[in-house]
Chains A and B, each alone.
Chain A
């Protein structure tokens, strides 16, 4: 029996999803009928208290939330979209996957048809653009948070290495990434056993995200091999690796999580949503982490949208809910609870938001720092395989970190791997 089930496991894994094709019902809700809306998220978006509030105002709506991790969430979303059933009414989509859906938007409800057109001014223009299909005729998602960047650093490690600890002075250490790497060299000279950054991939990614064009040009053509800013970011990152600054930690491993608390590394590129991870991973290190400005000015890393798969039968009710969840007022509540930074510019002048600080980060003014960062973001075009391209380049940097390849060979392999993504 065991041999039997195992032999079938692989084909079933791949096609079992396809075999159990559409068997949804065709009920059309009318008026104030009871409606249950399913919401599928990766990680905690901080929505839970909001559902209750919403249900109070809309007694016929019940919201059910299911949360899985980043990769599992997006994979089940993709398979549910392909099979035509099983997706939740409301699905969160992270920016790394969003561009592959906007390239083929036909499996989502067009939010413009549901009345979203008049809401455009609520969002940062580029956040709105990200949810639009390539032909700009279909809007598949309303923006939740943006990953405005900062640089989180350990004050105790900075002090031990003879570097300043005050966040304004620290910010002045690295107006550019070259100066950031130079600071890392100083740090390494003073504390040879410690590391300056957790891994090199984030630094590379931040630099590319800040450039006017990234790995794709506006016509969705891959330009990794010809874009000078990509090459410059690569060379600078290689320099940082060569001077031993990277702790070479793979993100989301137990070692990575533990390192936040143990103080293995001194700095990490810190999109707003990262602050929540630092807080949970380094519970005992309260007051040791602080937040300074990110080198290179600003930029966004990560951030999500809420989308409505076409297979959902309660499009209007689901739309009403996401419209409410992504409204500025709710985004502000979420920021205060989780650290996910709002994509609604009307909040950026709200003293309640700009004055927000957290004791865990030495009372660093999170609101002020991330507002400045989000406001300065220069929108960059994201292509259909954005996430895969960054993973491919990240693997190249990983091979250098692990001494598997020379930087030149790693770059050659990156270019040929990226070309295959085509």
Chain B
């Protein structure tokens, strides 16, 4: 009896110890995912008691809707406008704080500050900066003799404004991840480079970036995933009126999540359709992750 218990203990206990993660994942990860898929196959209005099965009808309607493609275009454009400057800035910042500095910890902590600020606060401040009539940026433009910009009205200008908010929040965070990777790069490389007369810029390009390439790819993929789901920034930027649902009268800055929100929480609460949108977004994100995996594998094999 005791040996049996002992055996059971040694063989089962490890599973019990790791089970909380899997149970939580099943409840909060797998189940919602599966349930969303099920909902997406129905004409599922949130307030109706009957939900008729429509098969892939929601998906075909979605793919035929020009506003969906518009939202996808906007999302990709904001993604590119936010991710690229974000990564370049983060690399430069990480490189700077990786050098011998006074009050190193203070600088490094400072990098994280924009990230711990609530997204709502960031958007409210930036919306005022990008205001049409009383915004600081337009005031600056005007004092340099340039014209005012109605930031929300234009496609490009609204994307730039939203990308600026995302860049502001995430640059420091990514810089810290880069910094962690940079500290693993052997110091001797820099020492000999310095002896050979390489400048700081050359050291960044020739030593740092090649050494931390896997981390760069990790950061790219994480930023991509966040960028594909950007919601609070465009929604709050529009100011709480109907523009916060469709992203401006011409849908100039409606992202995919806003599109999903438009259908899920307005227009008769079409949750079936919104769920289909969620699944298409999930597919896009998986696709982005797969591309990342392929690239990483290639880099490994090229070594």
Mark A residues whose CB is within 8 Å of B.
Answer: 2-3, 6-16, 18-19, 69-71, 74-75, 78-79, 81-82, 100-101, 104, 106-107, 248, 250-256, 258-259, 262, 264, 384-385, 387-388, 391, 394-399, 401-402, 404-405, 421
**Residue positions of B touching A, CB distance < 8 A:** 27-29, 31-33, 35-36, 39, 46-49, 124, 127-128, 131-135, 150, 152-153, 218, 221-222, 225-226, 229, 238-246, 248-250, 257, 260, 264-269, 271, 274-275, 278, 281-282, 285, 289
Which residues of chain B are within 8 angstroms of A402 by Cβ–Cβ distance?
150, 153, 248-250
- The complex places the Cα of A252 from the Cα of B33 at a distance, in Å, of 35
Do B239 and A251 have beta carbons less than 8 Å apart?
A: yes
B144, chain A: closest CB distance, angstroms = 21
The 7 closest A-B pairs by CB, nearest first: A398-B249, A253-B239, A391-B242, A15-B32, A252-B240, A395-B249, A82-B46
The interface residues of chain A lying within 8 Å CB-to-CB of B132 are 255
Q: A7-B285, A14-B278, A78-B46 are in contact. List 17 more A-B contacts (CB 8 A).
A: A3-B221, A7-B289, A11-B36, A14-B275, A15-B35, A19-B27, A19-B35, A69-B240, A100-B47, A101-B47, A254-B124, A255-B132, A258-B131, A259-B133, A399-B250, A402-B150, A402-B250
> Are B241 and A10 touching (Cβ within 8 A)?
no
List 13 A–B pairs whose Cβ atoms lie within 8 Å, in order of A's numbering: A3-B222, A14-B274, A16-B32, A71-B244, A250-B243, A251-B240, A252-B240, A255-B131, A255-B132, A255-B134, A388-B268, A395-B250, A421-B268
B128: chain A residues within 8 A (beta carbon):
254
How many whole Å from A389's CB to the nearest CB in chain B?
10
Q: Which of B238, B245, B265 has the most CB of A within 10 A?
A: B265
**With A3-B221, A75-B265, A107-B47 as contacts: A253 and B242 at CB distance below 8 Å:** no
Is the CB–CB distance between B36 and A15 below 8 Å? yes
- Of A16, A106, A397, which is in contact with the most chain B CB atoms at under 10 Å from its CB? A16
Which residues from chain B contact A385 at a C-beta distance below 8 Å?
267-268
B134 adjacent to A251 (CB under 8 Å)? no
Is A253's CB under 8 angstroms from B241's CB?
Answer: yes
Q: How far is the CB of B101 from chain A (nearest CB, A)?
A: 27
Most buried by B among A11, A19, A78: A11
Q: Which residues of B contact A104 (CB under 8 A)?
A: 47-48
CB contacts (< 8 Å) of B35 on chain A: these are 15, 18-19
Chain B contacts of A69 at CB under 8 A?
Answer: 240
Cα separation A106 to B45 with both chains bound (whole Å): 14
Q: Closest CB-CB distance, A68 to chain B, in whole Å?
A: 11
- How far is it, in angstroms, between the C-alpha of A62 and the C-alpha of B279 when the chains are bound? 44
* A17, closest chain B residue (CB): B32
Query: Is the pair B267, A8 in contact by a Cβ cutoff of 8 Å?
Result: no
| B239-A254 in contact (CB<8A) | yes
> Chain A residues with Cβ under 8 A from B285's Cβ?
7, 10
Chain B residue contacts of A81, Cβ below 8 A: 46-47
Q: B185 → chain A, closest Cβ, in Å?
A: 23
Q: Give bound CA distance, A395 to B243, whole Å.
A: 8
Q: Which residues of B contact A19 (CB under 8 A)?
A: 27-28, 31-32, 35
Question: Are A254 and B131 also in contact (CB < 8 A) when A15-B39, A82-B46 are?
Answer: yes
Docked complex Cα distance between A255 and B133 (Å): 7
Contact of A11 with B239 in the complex, beta carbons under 8 Å: no
Q: Nearest B residue to A81 by beta-carbon distance?
A: B47
- Residue picked from A106, A253, A259, A396, most chain B C-beta under 10 Å: A253
With both chains docked as a complex, state the minimum distance between the C-beta of A283 and any C-beta of chain B, in angstroms: 16
- How distant is A388 from chain B, measured CB to nearest CB, in Å? 5
The answer to whether B278 and A421 touch across the interface, beta carbons within 8 angstroms, is: no
